[in-house]
Amino acid sequence: MKPADIPASSPPIQVLFALLPDSLVLDWAGPAEALRIANQLLRGQGLPPRFELHFVSPERDSVSSVGLMLTGLAPLPDTLPEPCWVVLVGLPGRDIPVASRPARALIHWLRGLRLVPHALELVTICAGSVLAAHAGLLAGRRATTHHHHLQELQAVESACQVIANRVFVEDAPVYSSAGVTTGIDLMLQRIGTLCGPALAAQVAQTMVVALRRGPHDPELSPFLAYRNHMHPGLHRVQDAVSQQPAGNWSVPAMADIAHASARHLTRLFIGHAGIAPLQYLRRIRLAVAQTALQSGRNVTQAAEMAGFSSDTQLRRAWHQFDLAGTPSDLNQLSNK
């Protein structure tokens, strides 16, 4: 489901972080912060929040991996609302212990889940995938985990296609990531899918982390590139362009947002971002067009959605930024 296909009245996603004693703090705190910031940015745009966070556990009180006591955790629910994400996180150690009473209780609860895309989905961070495997949720699925646990994951669930050396793997309704920071990468990807890449880029910028374009590509998103600076006026322009890339933009229109002259804005872009204003606009529009092509839109539709005046203008920008292949190639690949 593409962000544009999700009605504004959609109920928020209930995100359940299922925690055991010794759960790795960064495995759940980083992704939880990404979702909180996404809600904050949505509210700033006059939109309702998309995520409701809950922390559940077989035990009401639990000690985290760093000794922090977590109290008042909610019990594992008997029924789950829709839409819902269940998030499983890692534990310290070479092997994931599952013999304790809390671990057995969590795995028993997980076995009762019936995963359905867009209704009940599973997100695993680091060795959380091993817990999912013990519950039988990864049979016939593609998944990844921390490199220390790859063999363990395969041993627990032989019917899982374990993917090594990957930031994260998407096999809806299962989404798995390799480690602590890659859990944030995965959550940014999920935010981008639901709320749009511009909002995900703003979350990444707020968290000062690198936003990855997808599970196969380690490059920075064009929505986050050219922003390694501290100029507030320029950030305002880049935020505005990212939020409405197909708008009727010109250098004077951008300059109004920065409260600067058109000539001064050009100097700011080149001096701080290393790119001219209209080049930056074309790069953002190219990213929108690429996303549209990957989702099955044809070249004409992608050009229109991105704000290009014609297919020719899209192809010209594609060549200018030396992107691989052609827009038609990407469209044909997405339709295979």
Q: Tell me what the pLDDT averaged over the chain comes to.
A: 89
181 and 242 share one domain = no
Q: Which has the higher per-residue pLDDT, 249 or 148?
A: 249
For 111-123, give one letter per residue: b (16+ CB within 10 A) or e: eebeeeeeebbbb
* Domain end (from 173, 194, 220): 220
Is it the case that residue 3 has pLDDT exceeding 70? Answer: no
* Domain range for 179: 3-220
pLDDT value of position 5: 42
pLDDT at 334: 54
pLDDT (mean) for 108-112: 97
Residue found by looking up tokens 């305002």 in the block: 236
Residue 246 in any domain: the answer is yes
Q: How far apart are CA 112 and CA 126, in angstroms?
A: 22
Asked whether residue 243 is assigned to any structural domain, the reply reads yes
pLDDT band at 4 (very low <50, low <70, confident <90, very high): very low
Mean pLDDT for the stretch of residues 109-130 = 97
Looking at residues 179-192, what average pLDDT do you find? 88
pLDDT band at 301 (very low <50, low <70, confident <90, very high): very high
Give the end of a domain, one of 165, 199, 220: 220
The CATH number of whichever domain residue 314 belongs to comes to 1.10.10.60
> Alpha-carbon distance 25 to 254, whole Å?
42
Regarding whether 62 and 39 lie in a shared domain, the answer is: yes
Pick from 288, 289, 238: which is nearest to 268 by CA? 238
**pLDDT for the residue 9:** 60
pLDDT value for 308: 95
Say whether both 185 and 146 belong to one domain: yes
Total tally of structural domains belonging to the chain: 2
| Strand ranges (E), the chain | 13-18, 51-56, 62-63, 69-70, 84-88, 120-124, 142-143, 161-162, 168-171, 174-177, 212-214, 217-220
Report the pLDDT value the prediction gives residue 213, as an integer from 0 to 100: 44
Residue 84 predicted with pLDDT over 90: yes
Least reliable range by pLDDT among 2-11, 97-106, 261-270:
2-11
Contacts of range 147-153, beta carbons closer than 8 Å, 24 or more positions apart? 147/178, 147/179, 148/94, 149/90, 149/95, 149/96, 152/95, 152/96, 152/127, 153/129
Share of the chain above pLDDT 70, in %: 92
Q: Are residues 50 and 75 in the same domain?
A: yes
Q: Are residues 236 and 178 in the same domain?
A: no
pLDDT at 185 over 50: yes
Tell whether 123 and 74 lie within a shared domain: yes
Domain end call among 191, 220, 249? 220
In this structure, are 148 and 28 located in the same domain? yes
Q: What is the pTM of this model?
A: 0.68
Least confident of 153-157, 203-207, 236-240: 203-207
Mean pLDDT confidence for 36-47 = 96
pLDDT of residue 336: 55
Q: Answer yes or no: do 178 and 242 share one domain.
A: no
The CATH number of whichever domain residue 48 belongs to comes to: 3.40.50.880
State residue 47's pLDDT score. 94
134 and 35, same structural domain?
yes
Q: Is 225 inside any structural domain?
A: no
Per the domain annotation, does 245 fall within a domain? Answer: yes
Q: How far is CA 121 from CA 14, 36, 46, 84, 322, in A?
A: 10, 19, 27, 6, 37
pLDDT tens by residue, 57-75: 999 999 899 998 999 999 9
In a shared domain, residues 270 and 207: no
The predicted model gives 231-252 an average pLDDT of 92
Please choose, from the candidates 299, 335, 332, the residue with its C-alpha nearest in 3D space to the C-alpha of residue 316: 299
In a domain, 226, yes or no: no
Residue 140, domain member (yes or no):
yes
Per-residue confidence (pLDDT) for residue 212, from 0 to 100: 47
Judgement on whether residues 102 and 181 belong to the same structural domain of the protein: yes
Statement to judge: residues 209 and 242 lie in one domain: no
Token readout for 112 is: 């009762």
User: What is the mean pLDDT of the segment spanning 179-207?
Assistant: 87
* Residue 158: burial class (beta carbons within 10 Å; 0-12, 13-18, 19+): exposed
The pLDDT of residue 323: 85
Predicted confidence at residue 211, as pLDDT, reads: 45
Answer whether residue 218 shows pLDDT above 50.
no
Contact 23, 91 (CB under 8 A): yes
